[in-house]
Amino acid sequence: MLFRYIAREILLASLLVLAGLLALFAFFDLIRELDDVGKGSYRMAVMLIYVLLSLPAHAYVLLPAAALIGTLFVLSRLSDQSELTVMRASGLSMARLAAYVGGAGCVVATLTVATGEFIAPFSEDAAKSVRLKATTAIVAREFRSGFWVKDDRNFVNIQDVTADTALVNLRIYQFDEAFRLEAISRASRGVYAGPNRWALSDVEVTRFEGGRAVLERLPSTTWVSPLTPDILSVLRIVPERMSVLNLVSYIDHLRDNRQKTTRFEIALWQKALYPLAALVMMVLAIPFALRTSRTGGSGVRIVLGILIGVGFHFAGRLFSHLGLLNDWPAGVSAGMPTLIFLAFALGGLAYAERR
């Protein structure tokens, strides 16, 4: 009964905080997008659809912070109303209270996984597609010459990738086993015909045979490649926003082509540990809630929760960049912030238990 009561209060408060934060972020998105309303077919209705489709990605990022603030608020309120004092006098230890909070944290962690894996990647991709189709913009362009992708012994230059993952103005440089240039294929457009096949149109193939070059023009041809729209989606979505399955697929692709995978491995570990981070921050809220109940009101608790959440976010970014610079193991770079905050949580619980 006590567990259900504490867990219910924490989850309800966390959902209310999440709703408030999502409303705030949606408002900021609306303000940012107002400047682009009127470009192409980008109207108010399309902008609202884009903002709504962006909310799951915001929810994934905000869920741990919302759970942290909700836990701080509920435990501080229970302490202010002496309910927590009565529970402690009845034999509730800090370890058991942490277990109760952790039980609610498991629900938040499950919701975080579901949002990050099955909702946010698809909704964010749909949001970008809606916006790009309306504004007739290009998804991204890393260099003036476009994107460069290594595929086995082939080097692929893709000038543009449209919102529906069609390739525009691509060149395929084919090399033999001795890495001598065999052929250059140029195509004005490529559409995924699956599995592992791309339908190329308006194709020119230049083959190098001995000391001469032979040019062949084709209206269409099929290009067989392990590249898929999911793999190419990395050109439009940062690794931290990709799903675990897409990250694993792209890491395998990079390894097959002997390319560096550190950044994507760190993102994969961060995705795996992010639900655990939400649980750790909720447990970390317990000692802080007991202190803030004596030193300030709900405003102090909310500010404290925001500061802890921001601190965790920047710690994650810091160790991620340090890992890339120093070539640390991906698990160490991604897991260090969680371990540090877990140590603070356990230390705070031990201190609160002694008091």
Q: Provide the pLDDT for residue 137.
A: 44
Residues of the chain with pLDDT under 70: 136-146, 163, 230-231, 233-237, 291-299, 301, 355
Q: Provide the pLDDT for residue 178.
A: 83
Contact 69, 306 (CB under 8 A): yes
pTM, 2 dp: 0.78
| pLDDT tens digits along 249-265 | 878 877 877 778 888 89
For residue 31, the SS3 value is helix
Q: Long-range contacts of range 127-131, CB-CB < 8 Å, 24 or more positions apart?
A: 127/49, 127/50, 127/53, 127/54, 127/57, 128/163, 128/236, 128/237, 129/163, 129/164, 130/46, 130/49, 130/50, 130/53, 131/42, 131/46, 131/50
Whole-Å CA distances, 313 to 307, 316, 317, 338 = 10, 5, 6, 10
Q: Provide the pLDDT for residue 160.
A: 72
How far is it, in rounded angstroms, from Cα 283 to Cα 174?
55
First to last CA, the chain: 26
How far is it, in rounded angstroms, from Cα 228 to Cα 121?
16
Cβ-based burial of 221 (10 A; exposed 0-12, middle 13-18, buried ≥19): middle
